[in-house]
Amino acid sequence: MVTHTLKTNVQEWICAISLFLISGPYFVWNNGLSLLAQFVVLALFVFSPLFSKNWLTLQKNTFFPFLLLLCFYLLAAIRHSGNESGALYYAIFPIIFLSNPTILNGSYEKFIKLLAVLLIPSILFYLLITFSHINLSYNLITPLNAFKPGLYKQYPFLVMDDTGTSLFISRFCGLFDEPGVIGSLAGLILLVKNYNLKNPYLIPIFVAGILSFSFYFYCVSAFFLIMNIKSKSIRFSIFIIAIAIFYLYQINDLQLLIFNRFTIEDGRVVGDSRTSLYFATWFSNFRFSKEYFLGLGSGSNLILNNGGASYKDIIVNYGIIMFIMYIMAYIVLAFRYRNNLKHFILTSFVIISFIYQRPFITDMFLAISFLYCIYHKSVVITCRCYNQK
């Protein structure tokens, strides 16, 4: 068991700060800070004995999932259509899955604290700008995504889309380029933490999730309530939420931002807008082709599903066989590190639902977030047992 010495604590904070940088806040857009932070995280995982496992004797809990992920990323590297450095990145990506669960958990816990503290001024500036007539100075910056039209208004600890809408209330982006980023991240963290709002660090994350008006955040929150319906406090919370919905539904902006997104049009949930209608039709036919099994090659989704983000992108690029390998690796790992059946269901749900709408297989921050979801309960219980001894 790794003890939390001063050296370990410092390394965890370095990793936490690096995680924040690779999560994509506005001040790393269009510069090399995010890439540098990724190298720092990899270096900590590889060269520090406190972070890495014994490479020659992988634990039985991780050997099979690691083997699946190793095969997946090596095949992805072979099929990579870009430059050699991109293929090399695919090949070394599995190093992340050799990280020490206890230290990874400690690093991510510190990342959550850092995120929560920075969200406080972000939320305050958002409320001030949205609900007051005070004109604050800002800078115009280019988007993270080069294909996205328009610019962003950059305030202290906050960015807002400058494209403009007819709505009085705007969706909260925080420090990120899309409301869905902070909404999805808030949902993941709160689900892992059982929405324990007695923890002061989770309050700004919860508020950020609500203000993002993220369809994913509300779906994750509803799933958590359903899974905990037997709790008296949950039943009371549902009662309060029902009353709040009744009154909030009267606000026109909120009808468009929240409630209308749960309606069904043309056989699809309005909020589930990760693909275009054209791509959905094309993919229905693609399922019956031989390319469905092995994919069309990396980057094909950028042509066929331009502007979208769906799990179908992985299948288009690499095929259903590799997609199953990718999903199975995480599910097997979640099963082997499960605390109980409920923990396994919640962990599997958050990972599968995340991949459903954010299929970024080389996003280091996303992979580490998944591992945090898997390890968290197991690591906390192990540490408690260790401390009691």
Count Cβ atoms within 10 A of the Cβ of residue 164 and give its class: 0-12 exposed, 13-18 middle, 19 or more buried. exposed
Both tokens assigned to 200: 């002061």
Reported as a pLDDT band with limits 50, 70 and 90, residue 278 is confident
Residue closest to 213 by CA, chosen among 168, 251, 258: 258
Token digits of residue 26: 């506005």
Task: Give, in order, the Cα–Cα distances in Å from 37 to each of 32, 74, 106, 256, 365.
Answer: 9, 23, 18, 38, 10
Q: What value, to the nearest 5°, has the Cα angle with vertex 240 and ends 238 and 241?
A: 60
Contacts of 306 by beta carbon, 8 Å cutoff, 6+ apart: 147, 276
In this predicted structure, the answer to whether residue 276 has a pLDDT above a threshold of 80 is no
Task: Give the burial string for 65-99 (b: 16+ CB within 10 Å, else e).
Answer: bbebbbebbebbbebbeeeeeebebbbebbbbbbb
CB distance 50 to 100 below 8 Å: yes
Cα separation of 361 and 369, whole Å? Answer: 12
What distances in angstroms separate CA 147 from CA 134, 302, 322, 350, one per listed residue?
32, 11, 28, 28
Give the CA distances from residue 36 to residues 17, 24, 40, 194, in Å, rounded to whole numbers and listed in that order. Answer: 12, 13, 6, 33
Decide: 94 and 333 in contact? Cβ < 8 Å.
Answer: no
Retrieve residue 144's tokens: 């993270």
Q: Which phi and psi (to 5°) does residue 269 adopt?
A: -70, 130
The amino acid at 275: T
Q: Is the pLDDT of residue 320 over 60?
A: yes
Where is average pLDDT lowest: 56-60, 148-152, 382-386? 382-386
Buried b (16+ CB within 10 A) or exposed e, 185-219: bbbbbbbbbebeeebebbebbbbbbebbbbbbbbb
CA distances from 27 to 47, 149, 150, 172, 184 (A): 28, 19, 18, 17, 20
Q: What is the pLDDT of residues 242-257, one digit of tens each?
A: 666 655 555 665 666 6
Q: Which residue has the tokens 């197991």?
A: 378
Number of H helices, E strands in the chain: 16, 5
**More confident: 136 or 154:** 154
**Quick one: tokens of 168?**
């009085």
DSSP label of 311: H
Q: Which of 148-152, 213-217, 315-319 has the lowest mean pLDDT?
A: 148-152
**199 compared with 135, residue with greater pLDDT:** 199
% of the chain exceeding 70 in pLDDT? 77
Model confidence pLDDT, tens digit, residues 173-203:
999 988 889 999 999 999 999 889 899 999 9
CA-to-CA distance for 219 and 191, rounded, in angstroms? Answer: 11
Global pTM reads 0.85
The SS3 of residue 99 is: strand
30 Rama class: left (phi>0) / alpha (psi -120 to 50) / beta: left
Secondary structure E strands in the chain: 139-141, 152-155, 158-161, 264-265, 268-269
